[in-house]
Amino acid sequence: MPKKDPELDYKSPSTPNPFAPRFTEIATFMRMPIAQTLKDADIGIFGVPYDGALTNRAGTRHGPREVRNQSSLMRAINHATRINPFELARIRDMGDVPFTRMFEIEASHDEIEAFATMLLGADILPFAIGGDHSISLPLLRAIAKDGPVALIHIDAHADTTDSFQGSKFNHGAPFRRAVEEGLIDPAKTIQIGIRGTQNTSDGWDFSEASGMRVVFCEEFHEKGPAAIAAEARALVGDMPVYLTYDIDSLDPVYAPGTGTPEIGGMTTHQAQVLLRGLRNLNYVGADLVEVSPPFDAGDVTSLAGAALAFEILCLLAEVRSKRQS
Ligand code: MN
Ligand code: MN
């Protein structure tokens, strides 16, 4: 018998295990295994630790790590829908996009696009945790290669403004660029929760002139999240749809840890009802962005991010399981 070499035979006991005590082990998204291969995943959650395109307070590069940490608090079954995403799909933490040129926005966007393209090539449904909102543009470039997709965009901001400080790719512009590049169909786009002061109305005007449905937060509060979800479902139909969730859609009471907070926003409960009203759409990808831990208080924003990411994961797992059968 050859003698065992403890150096070579060592296997970390900290392989994520959803039934281990929740405070133990290395934090991964939803306590899912870190992917070792592209062959055994249906849904890939990955971090995009990037904040090079922010126009105001930075810090979203720290988002993925803290959302991973707070996602340790998630358990398996959604109490409202009874969906257990982990039974419906093989979910893996794909790690973070490995940046090599973080000081260049366009190069970083190319690296994000390449990472998502790799997952899509392996038939893995991509779910990105950001990162500032500029990351949605390269993700859409990867996803919409065969033509424009529908978009459900939940945010305080329309993110359809133009250049800032000489860059067309700042975090306030991704969906203007996505329209220009033919990545999203503006007539099949709904923006939900829009509010806050602006210096010009250019972004809102672009959204409405291009044909997007813009639901300002006053209308959201008046009609309620279930009615707005029903409208979004009807608008999107069975078209391939991308879901993008900016944490600043929440009121700063619930999500102070973000770069551009706006009062008058959604409660966490309203956000849950809204997302639960978006079941069984033809999802081709999703992201949750703008969690900025340096501005957080008691981890409430990262917790909200993790809990809403769980809701989105339930949506993705449900449709992914039906696609396989
Ligand atoms: Mn945004
Ligand atoms: Mn925003």
Looking at residue 1, its pLDDT comes to 60
Q: What's the CA-to-centroid distance between 258 and ligand 2, angstroms? A: 9
For residue 244, the ligand closest to its alpha carbon is: 1
Q: Which CATH number goes with the domain that contains 192?
A: 3.40.800.10
**C-alpha torsion sign, points 303, 312, 322, 148:** negative
Number of the ligand closest to the Cα of 289: 1
Q: Could you tell me if residue 34 is inside a domain?
A: no
Residues pairing with 184 in the sheet: 149
Backbone angles phi, psi at 251, to 5 degrees: -65, 145
What confidence tens digit (pLDDT) does each residue in 163-202 have?
999 999 999 999 999 999 999 999 999 999 999 999 999 9
Span from the CA of 174 to the centroid of ligand 1 (angstroms): 8
CA of 206 to the centre of ligand 1 (A): 15
Q: How is the beta sheet containing 241-246 ordered, strand by strand?
A: 91-96, 43-48, 125-130, 283-289, 241-246, 149-154, 184-194, 213-216
Distance 292 CA to ligand 2 centre (A): 12
Asked whether the CA dihedral 13, 17, 21, 22 is positive or negative, the reply is: positive
Give the global pTM: 0.95
Residue type, 268: T
Query: What local confidence, expressed as pLDDT, does residue 323 receive?
Result: 87
Q: Which pLDDT value is given to residue 14? A: 59
* Mean pLDDT, residues 257-263: 98
> 282: CA distance to ligand 2 center in Å?
24
Over residues 284-302, the pLDDT tens digits come to: 999 999 999 999 999 999 9
* Cβ atoms < 10 Å from Cβ of 153: 32
Q: In this predicted model, what pLDDT tens digit does every residue of 91-133 receive, in sequence order?
A: 999 999 999 999 999 999 999 999 999 999 999 999 999 999 9
Residues 6+ apart with CB under 8 A from 245: 154, 155, 275, 286, 287, 288, 289, 308, 312
What proportion of the chain, given as a percentage, has pLDDT over 70?
A: 94
More confident residue, 247 or 17: 247
Q: Is the dihedral of CA 15, 18, 21, 23 positive or negative?
A: positive
Rg over CA atoms, the chain:
19
The alpha carbon of 260 and the centre of ligand 2 are apart by a number of angstroms equal to: 6
What mean pLDDT comes out for the span 141-158? Answer: 98
Distance 248 CA to ligand 2 centre (A): 5
**Confidence band, pLDDT 50/70/90 cuts, at residue 7:** low
Q: Has residue 83 been placed in a domain? A: yes
Q: How far is the CA of 159 from the centre of ligand 2 (A)?
A: 7
Q: Is residue 142 over pLDDT 80?
A: yes
So what's the pLDDT on residue 19?
78
Q: pLDDT tens-digit profile of 269-287?
A: 999 999 999 999 999 999 9
Contacts of 304 (CB under 8 A, 6+ apart): 247, 250, 254, 255, 268, 271
Quick one: average pLDDT of 138-161? 98
Q: Compute, in angstroms, the gap from residue 81 CA to the centroid of ligand 1.
A: 27
Please state, in angstroms and as integers, the Cα–Cα distance from residue 216 to each residue in 158, 178, 199, following that order: 10, 21, 17
- 19 or 189, which is more confident: 189
Within-domain flag for 14 = no
Q: Which one, of 220, 224, 295, lies nearest residue 264 by Cα?
A: 220
The C-alpha atoms of residue 298 and residue 69 are separated, in whole angstroms, by 13
- For residue 243, the CA-to-ligand 2 centroid distance in Å is 14
Q: Ligand 1 centroid to 50 CA: how many Å?
A: 14
pLDDT(325) > 60: no
Which whole number is the average pLDDT over 239-268?
98
For residue 14, how far is its CA from the centre of ligand 1 (angstroms)?
35
Q: What is the pLDDT of residue 10?
A: 64
Q: Is residue 18 part of a domain?
A: no
The sign of the torsion formed by the CA atoms of 146, 147, 150, 153 equals: positive
Whether the pLDDT of residue 320 is over 70: the answer is: yes
- pLDDT confidence of residue 20: 82
Tell me the pLDDT tens digit for each residue of 20-72: 888 888 899 999 999 999 999 999 999 999 999 999 999 999 999 999 999 99
Give the rounded percent of residues in the chain with a pLDDT score beyond 90.
90
Confidence at residue 25, expressed as pLDDT on a 0 to 100 scale: 84
158: CA distance to ligand 2 center in Å?
Answer: 7
Q: What is the pLDDT of residue 11?
A: 61
Please tell me the distance between residue 75's alpha carbon and the centre of ligand 2 in angstroms: 28
DSSP readout, 30-53?
GGPPBPS-SSS-SEEEEEE---TT
User: Ligand 2 centre from 92 Cα, in Å?
Assistant: 27
Instruction: Tell me how far the alpha carbon of residue 158 lies from the centroid of ligand 1, in angstroms.
Output: 7
Q: How far is the CA of 249 from the centre of ligand 1 (A)?
A: 8
**What is the number of residues in the chain?**
325
Task: Print the SS3 string covering 193-262.
Answer: EECCCCCCCHHHHHHHHHCCEEEEHHHHHHHCHHHHHHHHHHHHCCCCEEEEEEHHHECCCCCCCCCCCC
Any idea which ligand is nearest the CA of 132? 1
Ligand 1 geometric centre to CA of 39 (Å) = 32
The answer to whether the CB of 297 falls within 8 A of the CB of 257 is: yes
Asked if residue 28 is part of any domain, the answer here is no
Average pLDDT over residues 210-236: 98
The answer to whether residue 73 sits within a structural domain is yes
Q: Is residue 145 situated within a structural domain?
A: yes
Which residue range forms the structural domain that includes residue 215? 40-324
Query: Domain for residue 219, yes or no?
Result: yes
Count of structural domains, the chain = 1
At 279 the pLDDT is: 98
